[in-house]
Amino acid sequence: MAGAGTVVILAAGQGTRMKSARPKVLFPLCGRPMIGWVVDQALALEPERVVVVVGHGAGDVRAALAAMPGAEKITCVVQEPQLGTGHALQVAAPALGDDPGTVLVLYGDMPVLRAETLQGLCAARDALGADGTALMTAVADEARGFGRVLRDERGAFRAVVEERDASDQEKAVPEVNLGVYAFPGRELIECLPRISNDNAQGEYYLTDVPRMFVRAGRRVATVELEDPDEAIGVNTIAHLAEARWALQVRILERHMANGVLIEDPATTYVDHDVEIGVGTHVLPCTVIRAGVRIGAGCEVGPFTHLRAGTVLADGAEVGNFTECKKSTIGAGAKAKHLSYLGDTEVGAGANIGAGTIFANYDGVAKHRSVVGEKAFVGSGTIVVAPNTIGAGATTGAGAVVTRGAHVGPHEVWVGVPARPLRRKPAQPQAGASAKRAAERSERDGGKDAAQE
């Protein structure tokens, strides 16, 4: 597998067009910060090191990176002030070492690139020999500020001209430079001090480096993207929405390939880091957030919201306008209509009636409630946490089970506030029931024989 010795991720920009004080690379995208997708791209190549160039909101970006898998491979360097992509690599140079191997340059605002695409770019660089470089291009209907790729009369790469420095004729060139490069490390380090800021922006452009390679007689290859969605760079909130949809489609396709029936992908939102078992049916207008775990053969939706920390065991059903947060729904349990389950553990086979609310927040802290196996929580019940509804217990419609009331196993509670009405007889297990029936039959048969 072609890979990189070092990956450099440029993530220092403020993203002024996002119109937010939040660092652009920390905007949420399918349940994680945008830069998390780029870190995954980098780690998939199994590099020796990942260097992230930070700037605006550096402390927040560092903290987010530290919480990600693979954080032990990540080194952050600060670019302040931000004087262009070439300047960012100059700042990163000391962290690269003397022989960084192939250096792959990525961007914290390009989350849709696939690892396979980057492997192809690194393979193209490897094929050129020790001192060749490769850059990624696309033929775009909309340039979006990318530089144009200029070629000589034979079609060989000649240079990249940034849009602000391009003539009208050059701006008409449809092939754009995406700024993603695979450089030979030693040659890159040699070129970095010679980057100039003689341009309309007064910045140090990394595009100078491929031009230097051409002038030195080194080979430069271009790799054109096949999927235009991968070229999405996020500079505005509208671009963020485009990137979200491109990634969402991938997530949904992966689940469907694993045997999950997603009835209407266009209205289904599933974040990164969600597990769904085979045979589960997800109905329209469902939102499943990062960290949710769903077993096999479940039913979710329509109009269901599953939040972080929710676990559905095999065969559980959560339905219309029901929200779950940090809750476990046992095997075969049901919460089908208009309910809120916050910090709740529902036992196997239990039924949560329509309109039930587990009131988990007392204004200061969250508290947990437990519903036992095969309990029946009546419609419109409010359970004030912390609380317990015992196994096989029942609450009447509209009951308010006050804080700490603790409904016992097989008890029936009704009213406001709820009080015990009676205790239901424990239901015998099927095996025990059959045994008692057989004993009765034997006794009855003995009496008949005696009478005869």
Distance of alpha carbon 310 from the chain centroid: 15
DSSP secondary structure of 115-126: HHHHHHHHHHHH
Helix (H) or strand (E) holding 305: strand 305-306
Residues 6+ apart with CB under 8 A from 152: 158
Q: Which of 337, 367, 406, 410 is catalytic?
A: 337
Angle between helices 58-66 and 34-43 (to 10 degrees): 50
Cα–Cα distance for residue pair 377/374, rounded to 1 Å = 10
- Whether 3 and 47 have beta carbons less than 8 Å apart is answered as yes
Give the three-state DSSP class for 73. helix
- How far, in Å, are 32, 74, 262, 274, 343 from residue 307 at the CA level? 14, 29, 18, 11, 11
The amino acid at residue 131 is D
Q: What is the DSSP letter of 28?
A: B
337 is catalytic: yes
Cα–Cα distance for residue pair 19/14, rounded to 1 Å = 10
- Whether 318 and 312 have beta carbons less than 8 Å apart is answered as yes
Catalytic residues: 337
